[in-house]
Structure 1
Amino acid sequence: MLQHAIDDFLHYLQVEKGLASNTLSAYELDLRSYCEFIEKERKKSKWIDVSRLDLMQFLNLLKESGKATTTIARNISSLRMFHRFLYQDGIVKIDISEHINIPKKSRKLPNVLSTSEVEKLLSINVKTSLDMRNKAMIELLYATGLRVTELIELKQSDFHRTMGFVRCIGKGSKERIIPVGDIALQAVNDYLDQARPKLIKQNQSENTLFLNHHGRPLTRQGFWKIMKQLAQQVGIKKRISPHMLRHSFATHLLENGADLRAVQEMLGHEDISTTEIYTHVTRTRMKEVYEQYHPRA
């Protein structure tokens, strides 16, 4: 069966490559769609019978159905890795995906919050344990540039109170250490000392740093809902997302003269070209400032 090879490939990505669960889910989605096309449309049940024409027909189908360039590029990347795996594992005699190019993605500039909008978001009126938790999470995100998944998966032992840094496991199971500023450090310490003991409930063995009102780990959806509510409360009109704090962290550091390599390390980017997109944002801002304030602009 075609599916057996896909299961083996996903297991290989998880065990050998150490890919994150979100990345694995994306690969699985792409490959299951491809497998269904090969079985139902091309009437084939063995990978050794699948030809380059079959593969190209599937990619053409994605284009004709109006899929975004980013989606098609991700599919090609998934299929190239999968067919290389089939070839290296001896399941097929040739790699039919060889020399298939990934379309260039247009680089979309990230949406960021201004420093005044960040200040608004951080001016949370702390009245309850949940307020204290929310403030600690937002402060920590903006102070470190963590991804939301990284934030909600933090353990208590990952936050080093005396040394002032946080340890996280990012994409590809890669560890990184990020310094935490004094304000965020104080917010998380307050949460740990005063709020978390009230949220933990009966589940004293739970080691996740940030908890929901049931004393369980937060979900990505739960955090997104919290951030959306906070933005509405403080009067931020623009459409906001949790990832905007990560973008804002990087942009504000670079605007204030931070070294690009240091920002790359803190964000956990493997390729510096990924980090360089934030320099385009700062240049755009520079132009806006010039046009607004220069007498001959």
Structure 2
Amino acid sequence: MARARLSHSPLPPSPDSSSRSHSDNDRPGKGHSDHNRQADIRRVAKILRDGGYTYDRSKHLIAEPRKEVSLTPSKRKKGSVDRLTGEEIDRLLTAAYEKSARQGLMLRTLLETGMRVSFFAKLTAEQIAFREKEIRVRGRGGKARDIPILQSLVNELRLHLGNRRTGYVFPSPRGGHYSSRRIQQIVKERAKDAEITKRFYPHLLRHTVAKRLADEGMPENLLQKFLGHENAQTTQVYYEPSRAQVKQAFEDAMD
């Protein structure tokens, strides 16, 4: 099956954030059990519900107590975003398609859309606008956005779905959706088959397309919208030059 290279309606409920990474400041202390944490969540939820808080007002409510106890996010090391090289992308997709056309399409979709695994696992056929060449997702906070996709990916998704226009795009063998953990396992298994030796994690696929788009000159505000970032600072990390880019710029200037 020919594959294009990575360009180097109703919405489902918001997926859970179980695969989200947390900083040390986000983690409860050792003596804070899961039971206590769930009780805390219920208490905060009751405050929000009883107070009639909107999403925007709730952000202020959470921000103030953080300041009160001096909670700050972990500092992100500039230039620390990793990515797959073009050769690694080719090897990964080859390994996936050799396993099955289905798994090849799964990894290609992740690579080209930058979709979070938790959203991808619950992707439905209704979310794909074939004519507009877009996939509609509901991001964090319940905000909807449209992810543009290439015509070649549209064609492959259409072929994969056949006459289906409802249900999960990649249903599990039991007919439901895959768990985020299972998607992560599949991605890691294919990375192992492709003999990719760097630390591999599913979010690396999202980093790869984001860094590629930034390097190709996509404006920061557009990349922010593509990725669904609420905070522009989260997007800025993709515009930090890598060592290889600095070296290449030096050689070009001195040549």
RMSD over aligned Cα atoms: 3.7
Alpha-carbon distance in 1 for matches of 2:254, 2:46: 58
- Work out whether 1:220 is the aligned partner of 2:191: no
Consecutive unaligned residues in structure 1, runs of 5 or more? 1-17, 27-68, 90-94, 198-204
**Count of residue correspondences:** 217
5 Å matches for 1:121-200? 121-124=92-95, 126=97, 131-193=100-162
Alpha-carbon distance in 2 for matches of 1:278, 1:73: 23
Pair member with larger Rg:
1
| Pair 1:211–1:294, CA change in 2 (3 A) | same
The Cα of 1:285 is off from its aligned counterpart by 3.7
- Between the aligned residues of both structures, percent identity stands at 23
Is the Cα–Cα contact under 8 Å of residues 111 and 209 in structure 2 kept in the other structure?
Answer: yes
Q: Which amino acid aligns with 1:72?
A: N
Is the Cα–Cα contact under 8 Å of residues 116 and 203 in structure 2 kept in the other structure?
Answer: yes
The Cα of 1:149 is off from its aligned counterpart by 0.7
Report Cα offsets for 1:226-272 as digits up to 9, x if no partner: 11121122221212111111011110001111111111001000111
Is the Cα–Cα contact under 8 Å of residues 120 and 234 in structure 1 kept in the other structure?
Answer: yes
| Pair 1:19–1:235, CA change in 2 (3 A) | closer
- Work out whether 1:239 is the aligned partner of 2:210: no
- Work out whether 1:115 is the aligned partner of 2:86: yes
Alpha-carbon distance in 1 for matches of 2:174, 2:46: 45
- Say which structure is richer in helix: 1
Q: Which amino acid aligns with 1:279?
A: Y
SS at match of 2:146: strand
The aligned counterpart of 1:248 is: 208
SS at match of 2:102: helix
TM-score normalised by structure 2 residue count: 0.71
5 Å matches for 1:1-297? 21-22=16-17, 70-73=23-26, 82=44, 85=47, 97=65, 99-108=68-77, 109-124=80-95, 126=97, 131-193=100-162, 207-280=167-240, 282-290=241-249, 293-294=251-252
Is the Cα–Cα contact under 8 Å of residues 184 and 202 in structure 2 kept in the other structure?
Answer: yes
Is the Cα–Cα contact under 8 Å of residues 132 and 190 in structure 1 kept in the other structure?
Answer: no
Is the Cα–Cα contact under 8 Å of residues 20 and 173 in structure 1 kept in the other structure?
Answer: no
Report Cα offsets for 1:177-199 as digits up to 9, x if no partner: 01101232233223212xx97xx
Is the Cα–Cα contact under 8 Å of residues 20 and 172 in structure 1 kept in the other structure?
Answer: no
Structure having greater relative contact order (Cα 8 Å, sep ≥ 6): 2
Alpha-carbon distance in 2 for matches of 1:262, 1:189: 27
| Pair 1:190–1:206, CA change in 2 (3 A) | closer
